Amino acid sequence: MSPTSSTLLGQLATLLQNANHAIALTGAGISTPSGIPDFRSPDSGVWANVEDPMEIASIYAFRRWPQRFYTWLRPMAKLMLEAQPNAAHYALAKLEQHGFLKGVITQNIDLLHSKAGSQTVYEVHGHMRQLTCSACFATFAAETVLPRFLETGDVPYCPKCGGVLKPDVILFGEMMPIGVLNRAHQQTRLCDLMLVIGSSLEVAPAGDMPLLARQAGARVAIINLQVTHLDHIADLVIRADVLDVLPHLAEMLIG
């Protein structure tokens, strides 16, 4: 780590030590080292051969062409189910365990924060933990449905009524999970420090949360490889890989 990065890391550690209610907001950048691409990026590979994402990953397309949706989802679902948390996920779980973080708001649907041991996770874009019937709304654990889907590629249907099962992820054109979103917004208003980790902040409503936290009086620290449109409101910006920052931060604070 360069002298400049070490100085910034020290400043970040000080912010966390002085905070009474710190919360993390994570995006795709924390999961890409675990092999999960940013599915919103056209050049990630997930969108290969897809001219218009709205034709595949929207709630309207899902209802009309479920097989097309599941054909597109299959390789990504396999990646997510096989992926393991990386050192950055474990560092956040460790910071929560030792009282430096109150929880994690995440835009990711991959369950890696929970797998790493984080206890308080607000999944504002949904998750791959279960599927819900689009007809009778019965729910089913992913491990009881997805293995067969990954093997055959066939659309999973509800064993109770025959309706199409949908993963509990938020598609384009779909309402956000209001209960989770409300709790995430409550944390945004309560926190006195928000760590933005691996998020481009391009997607609302999560992308607006650092600004809302700032307006409520919180400090904001952004750790991201690329520039974000909210860098100018941050107290600290570290332009680095989260894998180079978070494990060192946890080591500095906890040992």
Catalytically active residues, by annotation: 125
- Apex CA 131: angle with CA 126 and CA 196, to 5°? 15
Burial class from Cβ neighbours inside 10 Å (0-12, 13-18, 19+) for residue 58 reads middle
Q: Which helix (H) or strand (E) holds 59?
A: helix 59-64
Long-range CB contacts (within 8 A, 24+) of 209-214: 209/25, 209/105, 209/184, 209/185, 210/25, 210/234, 212/185, 212/188, 213/23, 213/188, 213/189
CB 75 within 8 A of CB 126: no
Q: Find out whether 28 and 38 touch, Cβ atoms under 8 Å.
A: yes
Q: Which of 4, 2, 20, 25 is nearest to 234 (CA)?
A: 25
Contact by Cβ (8 Å): 122, 150: no
Residue 12 makes CB contacts below 8 A (sequence gap 6+) with 195, 221, 223, 236, 238, 245, 249
